[in-house]
Chains A and B, each alone.
Chain A
Amino acid sequence: MKILVTDDSKAMRMIVMRHVRQAGFDDAEFCEAGNGLEGLEQVRQENPDLILCDWNMPEMDGHAFLKALRSEGFDTPFGFVTSESTPDMIALARGSGAMFLIAKPFTVEVFRDTLNAAGVS
């Protein structure tokens, strides 16, 4: 499984990848992007199986990235990993086609439960 991790923080990208591996996906391959624009380019080049994406980023935020993906015809499963976790933001994420939203700070158990519930395997 190839997973694109999009976050403007290199530290957070490392933490997300660590948590995904510890959640039972230790054979996952990762590619990385620092914002939505870079993420779009990675999707075109790498065709990942899953996208894990921050919300607030410079250049292109996660919500705009998701909308751009869908408008280009990519139906790659997409989940937010973000400090934005108010009910309004969760509803906006769902309404835009995100499979899930993992709120920061998170635990390995949250990753495991969320990815399993979303049918990621």
Chain B
Amino acid sequence: MESVETVLTWSEAMVDALRELATSTWGSEIEVLEPSPERFPRGIPGSYIALVGDHFNFEFGVAALWGGCESLAKKLLFMEDDDVLDEPEVADAMNEIANMIGGGVKRRMSEFDAGLKLGLPTFFEGPITPTSEQDSSYAAVVVEGVTAYLVALKHRAHSQS
């Protein structure tokens, strides 16, 4: 395991949290693709949630092309492929996936920061641009046949205070 100070460690916790979600909810495994920032498409929709503590400050996101978001939402709701969901329903389901992943990261990492608090998720479509004060990590995974992208943004200044 890398140092807890590195964003990669938290990104790995995120992947583990998604793995737990896939196993317990769908009885399936996820496939982790080679990490590469170039693999993360700019501007795709996703749900993001903050995890803020005494020593660490993060945003975590789960993103996919729109069809992938729809598919994950239907999987979460145990719906058929030809069932119809409207945009708010897809956003709601994606928010819940982000919420469960965020909770999983918090549980895995709380020993390093007992003050971690989970925020409320937000779904939006647009490019993610880390600031000069943020470290970022991206992981591409295949879950239930959908290629999804896990994003971790770590606020550097907060962690050094």
Counting from the closest, the 7 A-B pairs by CB-CB distance are: A83-B103, A11-B93, A105-B24, A86-B110, A105-B21, A9-B96, A11-B92
Instruction: Using known A-B contacts A83-B103, A84-B103, determine if residue A12 contacts B96 with beta carbons closer than 8 Å.
Output: yes
B73 engages A82 (CB within 8 Å): no
Return chain A residues, CB-CB under 8 Å to B118. Answer: 56, 83-84
Contact check, B73 vs A11: say whether CB atoms are below 8 A apart.
yes
Residue pair B96, A11 in contact (C-beta under 8 Å): yes
- Interface check A91, CB cutoff 8 A: no
The interface residues of chain B lying within 8 Å CB-to-CB of A84 are 103, 106, 118
A 3-33 contacts with B by CB, 8 A: 8-12, 14-15, 18
In the complex the two chains form, is A107's CB within 8 Å of B24's CB? yes
Whole-angstrom CA separation of A43 from B15 in the bound complex: 38
Residue numbers of B with Cβ under 8 A of A are 20-21, 24-25, 73, 76-78, 89, 92-93, 95-96, 99-100, 102-104, 106-107, 110, 114, 116, 118-120
Nearest chain B residue, comparing its CB with the CB of A54: B99
A83 to B20, CA, bound (A): 12
**Cβ-based interface call for A74 (8 A):** no
In the complex, what's the smallest C-beta–C-beta distance from A11 to chain B, in angstroms? 4
**Residues of chain A within 8 A of B100, CB atoms compared:** 83, 104-105
Question: Whole-angstrom distance between the alpha carbons of A14 and B77 in the complex?
Answer: 8
User: Which residue of chain A has the shortest Cβ distance to B27 in the bound complex?
Assistant: A107
Let me know if A104 and B93 touch, CB within 8 A.
no
Instruction: Please tell me if the beta carbons of B106 and A104 are within 8 angstroms of each other in the complex.
Output: no
Partner of A11, one of B77, B110, B116, B119: B77
Q: Count A-side interface residues using an 8 Å CB cutoff.
A: 23
23 A-B pairs within 8 Å (CB atoms) are namely: A8-B120, A9-B95, A9-B96, A11-B73, A11-B76, A11-B96, A15-B77, A15-B78, A18-B78, A56-B99, A56-B119, A83-B118, A84-B103, A84-B106, A86-B106, A86-B110, A88-B114, A103-B103, A104-B99, A104-B103, A106-B24, A107-B24, A107-B25
- Hey, which chain A residues are within 8 Å of B21, CB to CB? 105
Distance in Å from the Cβ of A84 to the closest Cβ of chain B?
6
Complex Cα spacing A11 to B91, Å: 10
Give chain B residues whose Cβ lies under 8 Å from the Cβ of A56.
99, 118-120
